[in-house]
Amino acid sequence: MAYLFDYLNWPAIAVASLAYFLLGALWYSKILFAKRWISDLKLDINDPTAKKGIGLMFGGSLLMMFVQTLLLAILAERLGLSGACWLSGLKLGAFLGAGYAATIGINYFYEKKPLSLFFINAGYAIAGNVVAGIIICCWR
């Protein structure tokens, strides 16, 4: 008896999800975009309550990245891209990331957030999906 999603490469999905999450640690760090991101959101990092609920934020983020990576893996499998070259993963990840970024962009129109914040967050969605796509498509 076949189980639901038994055809998926679960170790690749787990590693891709973790890689997506770890990319976020770099993306939103002082090395890349932390200063602008904090400024655009008008966050007070010195506020003692700023880190309240951070475990839920990180755990929830990792869960959402797992869901997104799972969907990417299902699509890669259905398109016959599992075990393909890195270029297939890059294209699939960029395609899905751009679609997700467009969805984020719709909210920015109505929420009137700074365009720079959109580019930071949308860029992360695209880059994270590219990394996940490469892992999913290259892992045999």
Average pLDDT by stretches of 10, the chain with 140 residues: 76 97 97 96 86 91 97 93 86 96 92 94 97 94
Phi-psi region of 9 (alpha: psi -120 to 50; beta: other; left: phi over 0): beta
Closest of 4, 7, 20 to residue 135, by C-alpha: 20
Q: What is the pLDDT of residue 2?
A: 56
Tokens of 24: 């976020």
Going 31 to 32 to 37 to 40, the CA torsion angle's sign is positive
User: Distance between CA 117 and CA 105 in Å, rounded?
Assistant: 10
Q: What is the pLDDT of residue 56?
A: 94
